[in-house]
Amino acid sequence: MRTLEEALADWQEEAAVLRRRGHAHDAELIAGVVTDVRRSAEDYLTWLSEAEALIRSGWPLRRLRARFPEWESQGHARRAGKERQYRQLAVPTRAHTTAAYEAGREAGREAGRKSA
């Protein structure tokens, strides 16, 4: 079975062939669908380096690497040479820690005012 990346590349090439053969309208329709799918599946199609995945998740390296075998078996992680890569879709986004900290401080202030 082809990967989504392979299928999109094949259809992009098909559009180029049609364009060369004078079927510009058909080529544009195919190219438009390919573009829409790429945009819709951006999180799936985007690969992050391990460093990028660490920043995105906020996880320690050991935790990220512990998930690697499972994600690799699902097609969401891979090795590119010696580097580990992760699909953006699989890597959770770190909570906005600054906003959470400020919300906690405000809640503490509010609780202090009520008890005073």
> Per residue in 24-67, pLDDT tens?
999 999 999 999 999 999 999 999 999 999 999 999 999 999 99
Beta bridge partner(s), residue 48: 86
Secondary structure letter of residue 22 according to DSSP: T
**Helix-then-strand count for the chain, H and E:** 6, 3
pTM: 0.70
The pLDDT of 72-101, averaged and rounded, is: 88
| Residue 97 scores a pLDDT above 60 | no
Dihedral angle at the C-alpha atoms of 28, 33, 39, 45, nearest 10 degrees?
A: -110
